[in-house]
Amino acid sequence: MSKLEEEEKKALANAETEQFEADRLVKEKEHRENIAARNAEAKAPDDEEDAEGEEDEDEDEMPPKQKFIQICISTGLLIAAYLINRALPDLKMWQRLLIYLVPYLAGGFDVLREAGEGIAHGEVFNESFLMSLATVGALLIGFVPGGKAMFPEAVFVMLFFQVGELFEGIAEGNSRKAISQLLDIRPDTANLVCDGEVKVVSPQEVQVGDILLVKPGEKVPMDGVVIEGSSSLDTVALTGESLPRDVTVGDQILSGCVNQNGMLRMRVEKEFGASTASKILDLVEHAGSRKSRSEKFISRFAAVYTPIVVLAAVVLAFLPPVLSGDFVGHFATWLLRGLTFLIVSCPCALVVSVPLAFFGGIGAASRIGVLIKGSGYMDALSRTDTVVFDKTGTLTKGVFEVTSIHPEAIEAKELLHLAAHVERYSTHPIAVSLRAAFGKEDDGCSVDDVEEIAGRGIRAKVNGRTVCVGNQKMMEDIGADWKICDEPGTIIHVAIDGKYAGHIHINDVEKPDARQAIAALKAAGIHKTVMLTGDREKVAQRVAEDLGVDEYHAELLPADKVSKVEELLHNEPEKHALVFVGDGINDAPVLARADVGIAMGALGSDAAIEAADVVLMDDKPSKIEKAIRISRHTIRIAKQNIVLALVIKVAILLLAAAGLAPMWLAVFGDTGVLILCVLNSARTLYTGRKGKQ
């Protein structure tokens, strides 16, 4: 083949590649538009309702700073009211009530409003209603015959409840701030190159195929490929890794990364809504909709528990005086017990602290580049007993590399040189690995008469010599006396002018932290690790032994992997969970079947983000053990909150029913426990920081 013919062949191949890429981008755009249209049509009503609900919720919530000012004002007014009453001991009961109503309303007007709104919407039994009922009762108990005025106590109860609300707001704000800082990755503008000029536009206006300019210090606005320039990218917001990633022409770059130094020109490959940053933000924002078993239990418990305790408080206030025969004489005493019972019965410590713990845990996992799609999956992760791995792309790099060269009659360097030239025009992964190992694309050697033989290999003339590169069948076809190689992996035989010249061993190499990941899982108490692969038995055995995997199954088709996971699930105890770890693209059926599907190497992979329950934003299997530890820590804190709240509340409820619990103890049983549980939940925010669990 002449040089002119060679150049024409290259140009034709490039043109075909560009046309294929253009067609692919057009089809991808049309596909995404169809999906977006269907999703918008199906979810529009729900989204509108969610938006209205979120707007109403935001209007109801008072910022912590404003809440603190409200508490300070009410406290000052309470002190003033107390001093006025001490200075004027002859005031009538209704006059004292009016004086204490000022600090009461100043500190609790929003609680009274929420209680009223709940009644209007048919949601009577919430914490605002219980607190309003109890404190209004305390204000009025002095007007009951035999009753003692409790004006300061009523205001104090409302104030302490607001202190609990303040702590809750601060803790939740810190949780949201931690996640919003972590995921502050979606840029507001993009530098669009149009007709030689650079225009600053909104990323939503950018189309697939447009050219963008990314300056040093700016966030990459869209997913795409570098067409000019080189730089280092800060990917910490996506992967949790502080080590920058070097990129140059031809490299894929993702939205949300920060360009650290060089100027980059990129071609956009995904629309803004389909970009990595947008998908991550959407994933985290909707993580709260997938509730854990603990949260579901608390929701059901609160729905049944609250009406029961209200009824119990009413019975406690009215039934004993009726049975005593002297209703008027005993009513004030039992009414006070009923009010105390009502105060301590508020379930807000449970309703608030448990979801807050999961919210913090999801944020802690996100900080290290692990995106958990909901607290339900975090619950399942904490119960992990078996971890099943796909081999290629999960425990190994999924990229072939030359691991050894075995020459017969020539030097190793010359053997690799000839094989790389024969494979010069092939796009097969084996050919790519040979060229990468040789390093030089063109060193002046002539390559002619390239012929690919299906199922055998490639034959070509290199500098006039006929070189055959392929498997043992090709060697047998040409009569070359090939040698057996016992090394696991792919063996490429080479013959020169019909005589055997040696073989090259190519293998899929292990990931650097794969062995560490298996060891860490075992140290974390994981009972069994399993590897599934479609590769040959020898290759699977070597990888399993090198990494320390407990069990492996080789030569499996995709359907066989599903069957094997089904079998493992059948043998798994019900209280335990099975995790499958795959690359998220060709393992979607198995990811969906496992209790928890984890997508490895999901940086920029749409299929991984869609198919998996947990997404690792880099390709490090060592993150799995960290995700399990964070999940266990979160579940432990949630359970601590449940036990702490229930034990203290039940104890004080019994004391209140017996008349042994003063109102300040009832306040501690409600708001005090809430503060303790919220502070305990806040610990999940710091899980995994500086190596601490």
Secondary structure (DSSP) of 156-200: HHHHHHHHHHHHHHHHHHHHHHHHHHHTTT--S-EEEEETTEEEE
Single out the catalytic residue among 390, 508, 595, 606.
390
**Amino acid occupying residue 58:** D
Residue 561, both tokens: 């992997």
pLDDT recorded at residue 126: 73
How many alpha carbons lie under 13 Å from residue 239 in its C-beta half-sphere? Answer: 22
Q: SS3 of 602, please?
A: coil
Collapsed DSSP state (helix, strand, coil) of residue 469: strand
Positions of E strands within 276-365: none
Q: Concatenated DSSP letters for 211-279?
A: EEEE-TTPBP-S-EEEEE--EEEE-HHHH---S-EEE-TT-EE-TT-EE-SS-EEEEE-S-GGGSHHHH
- Report residue 426 as tokens: 């092939």
Place of tokens 């490299």: 251
- Identify which of 416, 395, 368 has the alpha carbon closest to the alpha carbon of residue 533: 395
Q: Is 385 strand, coil or helix?
A: strand
**Residues in contact with 538: Cβ distance below 8 Å, sequence separation at least 6, in sequence order:** 488
CA–CA distance from 570 to each of 363, 369, 578 (Å)? 33, 32, 10
* CA distance linking residue 315 with residue 404, whole number of Å: 84
Q: Is the dihedral of CA 540, 541, 545, 549 positive or negative?
A: positive
Q: Which residues contact 194 (CB under 8 A, 6 or more apart)?
A: none
User: Coil, strand, or helix at residue 378?
Assistant: helix
Q: How far apart are CA 164 and CA 645, in angstroms?
A: 14
> What count of other Cβ atoms lies within 10 Å of the Cβ of residue 75?
18
State the chain's maximal CA–CA distance in angstroms: 121
Tokens of 181: 């800082």
- Cα three-residue angle 482-484-488, rounded to 5 degrees: 130
Q: What are the tokens at 184?
A: 């502050």
Contact 543, 395 (CB under 8 A): yes
* CATH T-level topology, domain 397-510: Calcium-transporting ATPase, cytoplasmic domain N (3.40.1110)
C-beta of residue 502 within 8 angstroms of C-beta of residue 550 = no
Q: How far apart are CA 434 and CA 428, in angstroms?
A: 10
Residue 506 CB neighbour total at 10 angstroms: 21
CA neighbor of 256 nearest in space, from 276, 240, 273, 241: 276
Tokens of 319: 């039934």
Tell me the CATH class for 190-283.
mainly beta
Taking phi first (over 0 means left), then psi (-120 to 50 degrees means alpha), and beta for anything else, what does residue 41 get?
A: alpha
- DSSP annotation of 388 reads E
Give the C-alpha separation, 362 to 359, whole Å.
Answer: 5
Q: What is the rounded CA–CA span in Å between residue 617 and residue 367?
A: 11
Rounded to the nearest 5°, which phi and psi values hold at 501? -115, -10
SS (HEC) of 529-565: EEEECCCCHHHHHHHHHHHCCCEEECCCCHHHHHHHH
* Sign of the dihedral defined by the CA atoms of residues 615, 616, 621, 623, in that order: negative
Topology adopted by domain 370-395+511-617: Rossmann fold (3.40.50)
Edge-to-edge strand list for the sheet holding 224-228: 197-201, 190-194, 211-214, 264-268, 224-228, 252-253
* Alpha carbon distance 605, 529 (integer Å): 25
Q: How far apart are CA 622 and CA 620, in angstroms?
A: 5
* pLDDT score recorded for residue 289: 53
Provide block-wise average pLDDT over 10 residues at a time, the chain (693 residues). Answer: 49 46 45 42 40 44 83 93 90 91 92 88 77 81 76 83 77 60 68 90 90 92 92 74 79 87 91 75 57 65 76 88 86 84 75 79 83 85 93 81 87 90 80 83 79 86 92 90 80 92 87 93 94 83 92 84 89 86 75 86 62 82 93 91 86 83 77 82 69 42
Neighbours of 573 (CB within 10 A): 10
The secondary element (H helix, E strand) that includes residue 459 is: strand 457-462
Provide the CA 240 distance to its chain's centre, in angstroms: 12
Nearest one of 581, 465, 579 to 533, comparing CA atoms: 581
Question: 550 — phi, psi (to 5°)?
Answer: -70, -35
Pairing label, strands 596-599, 577-582 = parallel
Structural domain boundaries in the chain: 3-60, 64-179+288-360+633-691, 190-283, 370-395+511-617, 397-510
Q: Are strands 384-390 and 258-259 parallel, antiparallel or unpaired?
A: unpaired
**Whole-number CA gyration radius for the chain:** 34
389 neighbors 621 (Cβ within 8 angstroms): yes
Q: How many CB atoms are located within 10 Å of the residue 173 CB?
A: 14
58 is catalytic: no
Q: How far apart are CA 44 and CA 80, in angstroms?
A: 53
Gap between the Cα atoms of 606 and 601, Å rounded: 11
Sign of the four-CA dihedral 101, 102, 107, 112: positive
3-class SS of residue 25: helix
Specify whether the CB–CB gap between 498 and 357 falls below 8 A: no
SS3 call for 292 = coil
Distances (CA, A) of 479 to 418, 475, 490: 19, 6, 21
Closest among 429, 435, 502, 424 to 463, alpha carbons compared = 424
Residue count (the chain): 693
**Residue 143 near residue 332 (C-beta atoms within 8 A):** no
Tokens of 166: 């303040």
334 HSE (CA, 13 A, CB side): 19
Give the count of alpha carbons within 13 A of 498, CB side only.
Answer: 2
Give the model's pLDDT for residue 238.
67
